[in-house]
């Protein structure tokens, strides 16, 4: 597997997504939404900056998820449908290289879109920093808070796993099912805490065991969500975050490996 070939495929995916304009229009929409939060915050009894931060981060989460699911599921399926995949695979490009290149290209697209949305968010927060500065003795986090980059970085890690899942599902199912599977996977990843504690509320040891097994099998996106802590300036658990990131990255590698294994065996005729 040549890194150069992976890079070329990734660059092609990135260029195509820019030409496609779907992610771009989503980013534009996010920018508008973040700017609109200025008006919404007028009704918040002084909680304007908190609402701008919450809305900005939630919008990035949603848009990132949509790009990851809808673009991710079409990455391979669209090429097979258009039959353009044959042209690529007839060259000295292995299926695994092709898949990895596609994955890296989409991650590049996601990273640049998140960066664009982060700039929009910081611009709006900069406006608030000038219009309503915090008092000198304030205990609240600053308006233009560099720590906001942490939930964004962790969101990117979440999207790495979600995109790997979309790619994995797309290697053996159609676009509609892939979207459904990926969304279900993402939702399930947010119920980690409930699955872990399920044993406390049920009597059946089998049900509790199944829930516990699912808890270990599914990714735990809750550990990668520190939006609330950062917005409130609360203490962060560095060890727990590091463990969650390591688990998520490993999970993404496992999904990519499984996707490559399925894709290598798939009959493309």
Partner 1 sequence: MTSPAIRAARLIACVAFATAVGLNVTAAGMARPRATTEAPLWLQSPDVARRLSLSFRDLAADVYWVRAVVYYGSERLAPGGEKRYALLYPLLDFSTSLDQRFDVAYSLGAIFLSEGHPGGPGRPDLALQLLAKGRRYEPERWQYAHDMAFVHYWWLKDFRAAATHFEEAARLPAAPLWLRTMAAVTLAKGGDRDAARQLWTQLLDGSEVDWIKRSAVFHLQQIRALDDLDALRGLIERFTARAGRPPSSWDDLVRAGLLRAVPVDPQEVPYVLQNGAPALSPASSLLPLPGHEAGR
Candidates 4, 19, 39, 43: give the one binding partner 1 (CB under 8 A).
Answer: 43
Candidates 87, 123, 177, 187: give the one binding partner 1 (CB under 8 A).
Answer: 187
Q: Does 49 bind partner 1 (CB under 8 A)?
A: no
* 265 Cβ neighbours under 8 A, 6+ residues apart: none
Looking at residue 83, what DSSP letter applies? T
Among the residue ranges 38-46, 86-94, 116-124, 245-253, the one whose residues contact partner 1 (CB under 8 A): 38-46
Among the residue ranges 95-103, 190-198, 236-244, 245-253, the one whose residues contact partner 1 (CB under 8 A): 190-198
Q: Does 244 bind partner 1 (CB under 8 A)?
A: no
Nearer to partner 1, 232 or 266 (CB): 232
Q: Which of residues 75-114 bind partner 1 (CB under 8 A)?
A: none
Candidates 51, 129, 150, 208: give the one binding partner 1 (CB under 8 A).
Answer: 51
Rounded to a whole number, what is the distance in angstroms from the first to the last CA of the chain? Answer: 24
Angle between helices 95-131 and 3-20 in degrees, nearest 10: 50
Q: What angle do CA 150, 15, 176 make, to 5 degrees?
A: 80
Candidates 32, 58, 217, 268: give the one binding partner 1 (CB under 8 A).
Answer: 58
CA-CA distance, 145 to 125, in Å (whole number)?
9
What is the rounded radius of gyration, in angstroms, for the C-alpha atoms of the chain? Answer: 21
Candidates 201, 202, 213, 234: give the one binding partner 1 (CB under 8 A).
Answer: 234
Candidates 3, 32, 81, 194: give the one binding partner 1 (CB under 8 A).
Answer: 194
Residue 102 has a CB neighbour count (10 Å cut-off) of 24
Residue 56, CA atoms < 13 Å, CB-side half-sphere = 31
* CB of 27 vs partner 1, minimal distance in Å: 19
Q: Does 140 bind partner 1 (CB under 8 A)?
A: yes
Report the SS3 class of residue 128: helix
79, 51, 239: which is closest to 170 by C-alpha? 79
Q: Does 182 bind partner 1 (CB under 8 A)?
A: no
To the nearest 5 percent, what fractions of the chain are helix, strand and coil? 80, 0, 20
* CB of 20 vs partner 1, minimal distance in Å: 26
Q: Contact positions toward partner 1, by CB under 8 A? A: 40, 43-47, 50-51, 54-55, 57-58, 61-62, 134-135, 138, 140, 187, 190-191, 194, 221, 225, 227-229, 231-232, 234
């Amino acid at each position: 597997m040549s890194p150069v070939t992976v890079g070329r495929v990734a660059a092609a995916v990135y260029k195509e997504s820019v030409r496609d304009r779907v992610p771009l229009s989503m980013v534009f929409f996010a920018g508008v939404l973040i700017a609109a939060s200025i008006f919404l915050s007028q009704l918040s009894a002084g909680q304007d900056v908190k609402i701008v931060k919450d809305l900005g981060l939630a919008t990035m989460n949603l848009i990132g998820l949509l790009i990851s699911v809808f673009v991710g599921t079409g990455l391979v399926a669209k090429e097979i449908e258009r039959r353009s995949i044959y042209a690529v695979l007839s060259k000295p490009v292995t299926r695994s290289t092709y898949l990895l290149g596609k994955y890296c290209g989409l991650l590049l697209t996601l990273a640049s879109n998140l960066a664009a949305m982060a700039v929009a968010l910081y611009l709006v927060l900069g406006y608030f920093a000038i219009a309503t500065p915090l008092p000198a003795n304030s205990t609240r986090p600053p308006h233009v808070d560099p720590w906001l980059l942490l939930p964004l970085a962790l969101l990117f890690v979440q999207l790495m796993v979600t995109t790997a899942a979309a790619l994995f599902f797309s290697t053996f199912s159609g676009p509609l099912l892939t979207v459904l599977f990926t969304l279900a996977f993402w939702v399930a990843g947010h119920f980690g805490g409930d699955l872990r504690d399920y044993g406390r509320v049920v009597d059946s040891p089998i049900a509790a065991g199944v829930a516990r097994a699912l808890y270990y099998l599914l990714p735990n996106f809750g550990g990668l969500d520190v939006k609330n802590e950062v917005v409130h300036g609360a203490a962060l658990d560095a060890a727990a975050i590091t463990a969650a990131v390591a688990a998520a990255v490993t999970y993404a590698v496992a999904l990519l490996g499984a996707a490559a294994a399925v894709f290598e065996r798939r009959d493309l005729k």
